Amino acid sequence: MDLISCAPDYVRAISPYQPGKPLSELERELGIAQAIKLASNENPLGASPRVDEAVRQAMKDISRYPDGNGFELKKRLAGRHAVELGQIVLGNGSNDLLELAARAFLGVNASAVYAQYSFAVYPLVTQATGAKGLVAPAQNYAHDPETILATLRADTRVVFIANPNNPTGTFLESSRLHHLLRRLPQDVLAVLDEAYTEYLPPEYRYDASQWLSEFPNLLITRTFSKAYGLAGLRVGYALANLPVADLLNRVRQPFNVSTVAQMAAMAALEDQEFMALSYEINRAGLAQLYAGFKTLGLQYLPSFGNFVLFKVQEAGRVYEQLLRKGVIVRPVASYGLPDWLRVTVGLDKENEQFLKTLAMILG
Ligand SMILES: *Cc1c(COP(=O)(O)O)cnc(C)c1O
């Protein structure tokens, strides 16, 4: 037998994650000078200016291994969330933490549950362990606690919950989320993925870290990739109770978060002004996109994140035409949403250019 066919079936069956095209690649391919990328839910403002200085400082130390414990960053996060240092796990982006959760709790004899139309990484990290992925039907494109509970099997060890969810932008209100956690069996890890939590309007905000004492099986993940604008540096963190955090740390690479990323994250945490501005720009951009979709007569899902899912006929063709005119959005056919596209909220000018280009394409 050849080497490749000796790899486990469950590994060979994985369909690779399709990242958004990098700007430079698209500009090269299409021979255009100024494309706009609204495909990966990045912060259109970039990162806080304080990050520049932190990165410059960190560069002085790049011949040294990073602090594998991330002491300084964890200290700040512990203060912020009122948890112990040992309850924090740092990740090479929060994707890393999702994978660590899967590696720590799943395997060939286990299953994981996630909602229909939820984040593409959940099936990937599940399948990589040989566990079975079970899809809980969505309700109006959103997570449905009832179907999630009904999908659980005796061998289910992990439930992934994205709140807000990507790519739908839907949100499970904190009271319903808390109720779902209360009804989950104690031998199922609830992975609560809060990648977009900074974009929640004040009246919807909640603090799941306060629930950790109530739920020994809760793991919360956060990222610096979205509102904090550090997607290229790869840093995120998880909050859990000590025994869960300890397990994740056992399967974690010792130096999974670089010095530069740790220093940048600390600087980003300090700049509340930048976060407030990022939030405001996003609210304005959402309103701008909604108005544009209404004018074009297009259906869209009101979003709790920094992106909007909208429905167009021949979404594949529209995606290609936008691309050729220098606007990159995200096709979501691989999520089972072939008639929809996802656009990230950009700066005012970018949103305007996107809407104008879309209007042109739709005639
Ligand atoms: C973007 C995103 C993440 C974060 O990915 P990183 O690895 O932290 O860059 C996690 N969950 C969801 C639902 C996302 O959309």
CATH of the domain at 249: 3.40.640.10
pLDDT tens-digit readout, 61-73:
999 999 999 999 9
Look at residues 269, 302, 322 and tell me which one is the last residue of a structural domain: 269
What is the DSSP track for 226-248? STT--TTT--EEEEE-HHHHHHH
Q: What are the structure tokens assigned to 265, written together?
A: 């994250």
Examine the domain organization and report whether 79 and 29 are in the same domain: no
Examine the domain organization and report whether 222 and 170 are in the same domain: yes
Q: Are 362 and 292 in contact (CB under 8 A)?
A: no
Look at residues 240, 269, 298 and tell me which one is the last residue of a structural domain: 269
* pLDDT at 15 > cutoff 90: no
pLDDT at 64: 97
Q: Are 92 and 256 in contact (CB under 8 A)?
A: yes
The mean per-residue pLDDT over the stretch 138-151 comes to 98
Examine the domain organization and report whether 353 and 301 are in the same domain: yes
- Asked if residue 93 has its Cβ within 6 Å of ligand 1, the reply is yes
Q: Which atom of ligand 1 is nearest to the CA of 94?
A: 8
- Asked if residue 193 has its Cβ within 6 Å of ligand 1, the reply is yes
Distances in whole angstroms, Cα of residue 36 to Cα of each of 270, 307, 315, 354: 29, 14, 19, 8
pLDDT at 33: 73
Structure letter (DSSP) for residue 194:
-
- Asked if residue 225 has its Cβ within 6 Å of ligand 1, the reply is yes
> What is the number of structural domains in the chain?
2
Beta bridge partners, 113, equal 134, 159
In sequence order, the 6+-apart residues with CB closer than 8 A to the CB of 330 are: 20, 39, 40, 167, 307, 341, 342, 343, 344
What is the DSSP track for 127-181? HHTTPEEEEEPPBTTB--HHHHHHH--TTEEEEEEESS-TTT-----HHHHHHHH
Q: What is the rounded distance in angstroms from the CA atom of residue 39 to the CA atom of residue 346?
A: 10
The mean per-residue pLDDT over the stretch 120-129 comes to 97
Examine the domain organization and report whether 289 and 357 are in the same domain: yes
Examine the domain organization and report whether 10 and 71 are in the same domain: no
Examine the domain organization and report whether 25 and 152 are in the same domain: no
pLDDT at 253: 96
* pLDDT at 346 > cutoff 70: yes
Q: What is the rounded distance in angstroms from the CA atom of residue 224 to the CA atom of residue 198?
A: 10
Examine the domain organization and report whether 277 and 242 are in the same domain: no
pTM of the predicted protein model: 0.96
pLDDT tens-digit readout, 188-238:
999 999 999 999 999 999 999 999 999 999 999 999 999 999 999 999 999
Q: Could you tell which of 89, 96, 98, 119 is best to mutate to test the pocket of ligand 1, judged by most ligand atoms within 8 Å of the CB? A: 119
pLDDT tens-digit readout, 22-53:
777 777 877 777 889 999 999 999 999 999 99
Q: Which atom of ligand 1 is nearest to the CA of 235?
A: 8
Please tell me the total number of residues recorded for the chain in this structure: 363
HSE-up (13 A, CA, CB side) for residue 33: 0
* pLDDT at 1 > cutoff 90: no
**Which domain, by its residues, includes 104?**
49-269
Percentage above 90 pLDDT, the chain: 93
Examine the domain organization and report whether 251 and 171 are in the same domain: yes
pLDDT tens-digit readout, 72-115:
999 999 999 999 999 999 999 999 999 999 999 999 999 999 99
* pLDDT at 276 > cutoff 70: yes
Structure letter (DSSP) for residue 209:
G
* pLDDT at 21 > cutoff 90: no
- Asked if residue 190 has its Cβ within 6 Å of ligand 1, the reply is no
Examine the domain organization and report whether 39 and 58 are in the same domain: no
Nearest to 129, CA basis, from 46, 225, 266, 10: 10
Residue nearest to atom 15 of ligand 1 (CA): 166
Beta bridge partners, 190, equal 159, 218
* pLDDT at 20 > cutoff 90: no
Q: Which atom of ligand 1 is nearest to the CA of 223?
A: 8
Residue nearest to atom 10 of ligand 1 (CA): 195
Lowest-confidence pick of 4-18, 64-78, 171-185, 206-220: 4-18
Q: What is the rounded distance in angstroms from the CA atom of residue 181 to the CA atom of residue 188?
A: 10
What is the DSSP track for 85-127? GGGEEEESSHHHHHHHHHHHH--TT-EEEEETT--THHHHHHH
Q: Are 264 and 235 in contact (CB under 8 A)?
A: yes
* pLDDT at 178 > cutoff 80: yes
The mean per-residue pLDDT over the stretch 314-334 comes to 96
Look at residues 238, 269, 300 and tell me which one is the last residue of a structural domain: 269
In sequence order, the 6+-apart residues with CB closer than 8 A to the CB of 86 are: 242, 245, 246
Q: Are 265 and 235 in contact (CB under 8 A)?
A: yes
Q: What is the rounded distance in angstroms from the CA atom of residue 197 to the CA atom of residue 237?
A: 13
Examine the domain organization and report whether 143 and 180 are in the same domain: yes
Examine the domain organization and report whether 36 and 177 are in the same domain: no
Distance 252 CA to ligand 1 centre (A): 18
Q: Could you tell which of 40, 41, 90, 94 is best to mutate to test the pocket of ligand 1, judged by most ligand atoms within 8 Å of the CB? A: 94
Question: Across all residues in the chain, what is the average pLDDT?
Answer: 96
Rounding to the nearest 10 degrees, give the CA dihedral for residues 21, 362, 285, 142: -80
- Complete edge-to-edge strand list for the sheet that includes strand 300-301: 300-301, 307-311, 340-344, 330-331
Examine the domain organization and report whether 292 and 208 are in the same domain: no
Q: What is the rounded distance in angstroms from the CA atom of residue 68 to the CA atom of residue 20?
A: 30
- Asked if residue 223 has its Cβ within 6 Å of ligand 1, the reply is yes
